[in-house]
Amino acid sequence: MAKSFIHYQEIKGKQYASIYTPRKVNGKKDNQPLYLGRVIDKENGIFTSKERGTFKYTLANGFSDSVSHGQKEEKLILDFGDAYVMYTVLKEHGFWDLFRSVLSGWEDTLCTMLFYRLLRGGASRYARDWWSGSYLSQICPRAKIESQRVSEFFLALGNEQVQREFFPKYLAKISDGQKNHGILIDSTGMPNDCHSPLTAISNHNGVISNETRLILAVDRITGLPLLFRYNPGNIVDVSTLKSTILELSTYGVSVDFSILDAGYYCEKNIKSLYAEEIRFITRLSPNLKLYKNLVRCHADTLESPENAIFYRERLLYIKRVPAELCGRTAYAYVAIDHQRRADEMYSFMKRSKDNKKKEQPADKLDYQRKSKGMFIIVSSDCVGISEILPLYYARQAIEQVFDFYKNNADLLPLRTHNEGTLRGHLMLSFMATIAYMLVNSLLDGTKFCADGAFRALHNLKCKVFDDCILVKEANSKVNDIAKHLKIEIPLKL
C-alpha cells in the first residue's frame, strides 16, 4: 500500500499543505487530499487553519494541538484601541455586566453587535468581517454573527419579556436612588417603506412621509434616555403623552416635572398633568385660540425696555401674564425674538407688496404683522422671566439624544419587516446610545467627542500570540484620550 505524503504549494508568497494518500478505486487513481492549512514551521510540522487554529501534524504521530516550535508565532494583528477603551469604560461604569445580563446565551453576540454599531456601523451582514479584525473577537469569542443567527438574535432581543427585565435594572442604575424625575418627551420619524403594521403615512409639521414613529423619554438633569416607545407614523404626538408617562411609572419612574414640545399640548393632556400633579412647561402652537388671544392682548406693549432680555446673544422681549388652563391658574410667557421678527417682517411685507390678488381683511393683516417673531411658552409654575428660556430650551437635550440615536447608534435605515426584529433593532440602538453618551460625557470639556475619539483609537493595533497579546505603542493623541478617560493603555495582556 502506498504511503501518505504531505504536498506543499506556494500561493502568493505563502506556503500551504495538504495530505495525500494514494489509492485506487475500480482500477483508477483516487487521491483524496486532506487540507492542512498554511505552513507556519515546515521543519517542525506547524500549521494553521480556520477549522483547527494553530496545530502540529507529522506523518508519524498525526495531529497534535501542542505547538512547540522555537519562538512565539504571531497569529493576528487586530484593531485594538477603540474596542479596548469602549470595553474598559463600560466595565468600569457597570454597563458591561448590565448589557450582558439582558439576553442569556447571546452575551457575546449582543456585545459584538453593540460595538459594531458604535465603532463601525452599517449593514449587519458585515459585522463578522469587522469582528474578525477587532480585539473584541478576543473578548467575545463566542459571538454568533452569521447572517441567520443575527436575525435570530434581533428577534430574541425584541422579546417583550427581555425588555421588561432590562428597564428596571437600567433605570435603577442611572437613578441612583432618585424616585422623582423631570423628563423631556419628544418623537422623531423613522422613514420606513417596508410593508408592516407599524408603517403609516405621517404628516408631522407639514412634512408627509411613510414612517414608524420613535418616542423617547429623557431625564432632564442627566440627559440620559429613560425609555423608548414606537408607534405607526399616523399616531400623533398629542395622543402618546399619557401612555409614555404611564409606562415610565410601571418601571418605578415617578414623573414630577415635564418639558414638552407644542405637539403635546391639548386640553386632555393638561388636565391629566394637573391630575397627576406633574408640573410642566410647554410651547403653544400658533393655531390655538389661547395663542391668538395673547398675541392680540400683548403684542402692542411687548417691545419695551423693561421686557428686554438677552439670551445667547439674542435680544428678546418677554412678558409674563396669568393664563387660565383647564380651570387652573398658569403663566404665559409672551415673547418676541427681535432678530427673527425683523427677518419675518421683511419677508411678510415683501410678499404683501408683491401679491396682486385680492387684499386680505385689515384685521387679519394686522394680526399677521403683530405675530411675526413671536412665540408663547406656558408653565404651571411661576418662573422668573430670565429662567424660562433656559428651562424650556433644556429640551434641546432630547434633540441631541435623537441625533446620537440616528447618527452614532445606527438607528437608520430600518431594515426589517418584522415587529419583533424591529423591537430588537430599537433596543440595540437604545443601548448603543447609552454607551456613546457615557463616553461623550467623560470627554466633556476636551477637544474630543466620542466619535472623534473612536476614530483616533481605531489606529492603535495589537498583536495576538498564543499566550499573550502585545499592544503597539500609542501615539500622543491616543494617550491624551486615554488620560481624559482615566484609562491606562497596556503594553501586554
pLDDT tens-digit series, residues 122-164 = 888 888 889 989 999 999 998 888 877 888 899 999 999 999 9
- Round to whole Å and give the CA distance between 409 and 122: 10
The answer to whether the Cα torsion of 15, 19, 20, 25 is positive or negative is negative
Least confident of 75-84, 112-121, 169-178, 277-286: 169-178
Q: Is the pLDDT of residue 405 over 80?
A: yes
Q: Please name the fold of domain 162-406.
A: Transposase Inhibitor Protein From Tn5; Chain A, domain 1 (3.90.350)
pLDDT confidence bin for 72, thresholds 50/70/90: very low
Maximum separation of any 2 CA atoms in the chain, in Å? 111
* Beta-carbon contacts of residue 204 (< 8 Å; ≥ 6 apart): 189, 233
Considering only 135-149, 205-219, 222-236, which range has the smallest mean pLDDT?
A: 205-219
Q: What is the pLDDT of residue 430?
A: 94
Q: Is 385 exposed, middle or buried (0-12, 13-18, 19+ CB in 10 A)?
A: middle
Angle among Cα 365, 369, 372 to the nearest 5 degrees reads: 140
What pLDDT is recorded for position 3?
75
Dihedral sign from CA coordinates of 121, 125, 131, 134: negative
User: Is the CB of residue 403 less than 8 Å from the CB of residue 186?
Assistant: no
Domain(s) labelled CATH 3.90.350.10 in the chain stretch across: 162-406
Give, rounded to a whole angstrom, the gap between the first and last alpha carbons of the chain: 50
For residue 179, with 0-12 CB atoms within 10 Å meaning exposed, 13-18 middle and 19 or more buried, which class applies? exposed
Among 43, 113, 37, smallest CA distance to 75 is for 37
26-35, 65-74, 281-290, 447-456 — which is least confidently predicted? 65-74
What pLDDT score does 347 carry? 85
- Band (pLDDT 50/70/90 cuts) for residue 41 is confident
Q: What distance in Å separates the CA atoms of residue 135 and residue 120, rounded to the nearest whole number?
A: 13
As a whole number, mean pLDDT of residues 323-330 equals 90
Q: How many residues does the chain have?
A: 493
In 3-state terms, what secondary structure has residue 68?
coil
Q: Average pLDDT of 7-36?
A: 76
Report H helices in 176-326. 241-250, 267-275, 289-302
- For residue 358, the model assigns a pLDDT of 57
Taking only the tens place, the pLDDT of each residue in 432-448 is 999 999 999 999 989 99
Strands (E), 131-222: 180-191, 200-204, 207-219
**Do the beta carbons of residue 460 and residue 472 sit within 8 Å?**
yes
The answer to whether 75 and 464 are in contact (CB under 8 A) is: yes
Compute the mean pLDDT over every residue in the chain, rounded to the nearest whole number: 86
Question: What is the average per-residue pLDDT within 40-49?
Answer: 83
pLDDT at 145: 86
Q: What is the 3-state secondary structure (H, E, C) of 430-481?
A: HHHHHHHHHHHHHCCCCCCCHHHHHHHHCCCEEEECCCCEEECCCCHHHHHH
Q: What is the pLDDT of residue 68?
A: 42
Residue with more model confidence, 449 or 362: 449
Name the residue with cell 506556503.
15
Q: Is 192 helix (H, G, I), strand (E, B) or coil?
A: coil
Residue 363's pLDDT is what? 75
Q: How much is the pLDDT for 71?
A: 43
Backbone angles phi, psi at 36, to 5 degrees: -90, -45
Percent of the chain predicted with pLDDT > 70 = 90
Residues 6+ apart with CB under 8 A from 394: 184, 220, 259
Q: Which of 202-206, 219-223, 311-315, 430-434 has the highest mean pLDDT?
A: 430-434
Enumerate the H helices of 383-418 as residue ranges: 385-392, 396-407
* pLDDT: which is higher, 83 or 365: 83
Segment 193-201 shows an average pLDDT of: 71
Helix H or strand E segment including 81: helix 81-92
Query: Please, which pLDDT band fits residue 177 given cuts at 50, 70 and 90?
Result: low
Which of 76, 78, 89 minimizes the C-alpha distance to 453? 89
Residue 195 has pLDDT above 80, yes or no: no
Residue, of 12 and 223, whose pLDDT is higher: 223
Convert the pLDDT of each residue in 235-267 to its tens digit.
Answer: 888 889 999 999 999 988 889 999 998 889 999
Cβ-based neighbours of 285, under 8 Å, separated by 6 or more:
262, 263, 265, 291
The string of pLDDT tens digits covering residues 348-389 is 887 777 765 556 677 777 888 888 999 999 999 999 999 999
User: Rounded CA gap, 435 and 451, in Å?
Assistant: 12
Q: How many Cα atoms occupy the beta-carbon half-sphere of 17 within 13 Å?
A: 21
Q: Of 28 and 62, which is predicted with more confidence?
A: 62
- Number of other CB atoms surrounding residue 464 within 10 Å: 17
Q: Which helix (H) or strand (E) holds 427?
A: helix 419-442
CB contact at 8 A, 477 and 88: no
Cell numbers at residue 39, please? Answer: 505552513
